Amino acid sequence: MPRYFLHVQGAQSFQDGDGPTLANGAAALNEAKRFARDIEPGATWRLEVHRKSRPLYFYKVNSGVLGRQAHRP
């Protein structure tokens, strides 16, 4: 099975040096969604999914704006 890497760019950047071994790109996308739920809200960040050095998917999120919108009356 291939290894995928989840990199975060933003206020607190993280380069995944190990990466999980997953069945395919769809499984990597699901792992990225689970990973994204654990990122601290209140900032703009980008989550990238790579296989080897090639980017497959990315999310660019401004969670501070999303949080404020979710709490508006």
Q: 41 lies in which domain range?
A: 4-70
What is the structure's pLDDT at 69?
39
Cβ contacts of residue 62 below 8 Å, gap of 6+? 43, 44
Q: Please, is 47 exposed, middle or buried when counting C-beta atoms within 10 Å of its C-beta (0-12, 13-18, 19+)?
A: buried
pLDDT tens sequence across 14-71? 899 999 999 999 999 889 888 877 776 677 888 899 998 889 988 887 766 544 433 3
Q: In what order do the strands lie in the sheet with 54-62?
A: 4-10, 44-51, 54-62
What is the structure's pLDDT at 4?
95
Q: Looking at the 3D structure of the chain, how many domains does it have?
A: 1
Other CB atoms within 10 Å distance of the CB of residue 6:
21
Instruction: Answer positive or negative: Cα dihedral of 19, 25, 31, 34.
Output: positive
